Amino acid sequence: MTRVRQCDLAIVGGGLVGGLIALAIAKRRPDARVLLIEGGGTLGGNHIWSFFESDVAPADLPLIVPLAAHGWDGYHVVFPGLRRRLGVRYHSITSERFDAQLREVLPAERVLIGRKAIGVGPKSVVLADGARIEAGGVIDARGPGDLSTLECGWQKFLGRELHLAKPHGLARPVVMDASVEQEDGYRFVYLLPFGPDRLFVEDTYYSDTPDIDPVLLAGRVSAYAASRGWPVANSSREERGALPVVMAGDFEAYWRSGGAQVAKAGMRAGLFQPTTGYSLPDAIRTARFVAELSDWSAPGLHDALHRFARAAWEERGFYRLLNRLLFKAAEPGERWRVLRRFYKLDESLIGRFYASRSTNRDKARIMLGRPPVPIGRALRAIAG
C-alpha cells in the first residue's frame, strides 16, 4: 500500500535555498506543516558558500550569519599592477555547519533525508521508496534546470582545503589573485584563511567551456601553494563546480525546463547573479519572501515565485550585457583587464554589483571611460 503524508508546504531539495526557506519558516511560522525533502545523506551537500555582508539586507543577517563558520573584516584582490583591500565583511558557510544548524532548528519529523524524489508536481511529490506526499503547494529546489536553454560562459573551479606545515600569514581572504598565469580564459586563485595553517585554495576560470580537468586543477592548487612558499602537510575537503555566467536566454523556456506549473526556487528558478553564478543573496531574499507569503496554495505559490524570479531576470539585463562583453569582446587571455578595471571602482559600487543592485549611475560608471576591449567587437557583443 502506498504511504501518503499530508503537509501545507513541501520543499524538494535540502540544499541552499530549500534549507533557507525551511529555516525562515521555522522562525516566522513555527506551526506551519512544512516538509523538507533531501535526496542526499546530508543537508547542503558539499559546499563552501561565501558572501559579502553587503549582499544581504540588514533584516536578514540574523537568519544567515549564525550559519557562517568563518568571518573576516574585509578581503583583498590582486591583479598585475593592482593590490587592493576592501573593507566589507566577508563570511563563509560550510555545508557541515549548515547541516548541523538546520537539524538543530528544524523539527526532526519535518526533515526527510536520504529520500530521493522521482516525481514532483504542483501539489504532490513521489519518493523513490514509494512514499507519496500531498501538499497545499510544492517548491522544487533541486538545483539548476536545463542550462542549455541559456547562452552561458562558465565560472569553473576546483578548490582544496590545505593543512600547511607552517603559518600562511594571511589575515583575510583573497577573493581574486589574478597575478597567476592566464589560462583557459580569465584565471585567478581564491584564498580563504580558515586558520593560521589552514587555507582553502581554489583555482578558478572564467572559461568558454564548463569542462574541468580535476587532476590538472589540483596540480595547479599545489603549484600555487608551492609558489607562495607554503609547505602542504595534507589536504582535506575538495569542491568543484561550473557555474553559469549568463549572456542571454529565454527566461520562460528556462523556467519551464524545471517543470511547468511547479513553483521553483534557487538555481532552478534562475535566481542567481548572472556574472558570478552565486545564488546565496537571492536565496536569502527568496526564503523571506516565501515565509511571508499568505498563499501557499499550488497556483498562488507558482505565480508568486514565477513573478519574483521573472522580475529579477528582467532587472538583470545589464549583467548579461557585461558578460557578453567579457566573453565575446575581450580576448580570453585579456579578460583579466576588464576585471582589474572593475576593481579600481568605488567600493560601494562593487558591493551593489555583487548584490545585483547596481544603480543607473553605477551602470554608467562601469560602462563609461575606455573599456579594455576592442570597440568593434564590443559593439557586436552589445548588439548580440
Ligand X SMILES: Cc1cc2nc3c(=O)[nH]c(=O)nc-3n(C[C@H](O)[C@H](O)[C@H](O)COP(=O)(O)OP(=O)(O)OC[C@H]3O[C@@H](n4cnc5c(N)ncnc54)[C@H](O)[C@@H]3O)c2cc1C
Sheet (strand 48-52) strand order: 48-52, 90-94, 70-72
Determine if 321 is a binding residue for ligand X (CB under 6 A).
no
Among 143, 210, 333, 372, binds ligand X (CB under 6 A): 143
DSSP assigned state of 76:
E
- Per-residue string for binding with ligand X, 159-178, x by CB under 6 A? --------------------
Is 350 or 381 the residue whose CB approaches ligand X more closely?
A: 350
Among 13, 274, 332, 371, binds ligand X (CB under 6 A): 13
CB atoms within 10 A of CB 93: 23
C-alpha cell read off for 1: 500500500
DSSP assigned state of 149:
G
Indicate the residue type of 129.
D
Query: Shortest approach of ligand X to residue 383 CB, angstroms?
Result: 30
For 81, phi then psi, to 5°, come to: 80, 5
Give, as ranges, the residues between 78 and 117 that touch ligand X (CB under 6 A). 116-117
Exposed, middle or buried, 148 (CB in 10 Å: 0-12/13-18/19+)? exposed
Part in contact with ligand X (CB under 6 A); list of ranges 60-68, 136-144, 229-237, 337-345? 136-144
Q: CA 312 to CA 272: how far, in whole Å? A: 9
- Per-residue string for binding with ligand X, 270-299, x by CB under 6 A? -------xxxx-------------------
Query: Shortest approach of ligand X to residue 51 CB, angstroms?
Result: 6
C-alpha cell read off for 94: 560550510
Is 35 or 373 the residue whose CB approaches ligand X more closely?
A: 35
In contact, 54 and 88? CB cutoff 8 Å: yes
Query: Shortest approach of ligand X to residue 49 CB, angstroms?
Result: 4
Determine if 267 is a binding residue for ligand X (CB under 6 A).
yes
Among 12, 225, 309, 312, binds ligand X (CB under 6 A): 12
Query: Shortest approach of ligand X to residue 37 CB, angstroms?
Result: 6
Nearby residues of 363 by Cβ (< 8 Å), 6 or more positions away: 318
Q: CA 175 to CA 77: how far, in whole Å? A: 6
Query: Shortest approach of ligand X to residue 150 CB, angstroms?
Result: 15
Binding site for ligand X (CB under 6 A): 12-18, 37-40, 45, 47, 49-51, 116-117, 141-143, 239, 241, 243, 266-268, 277-280
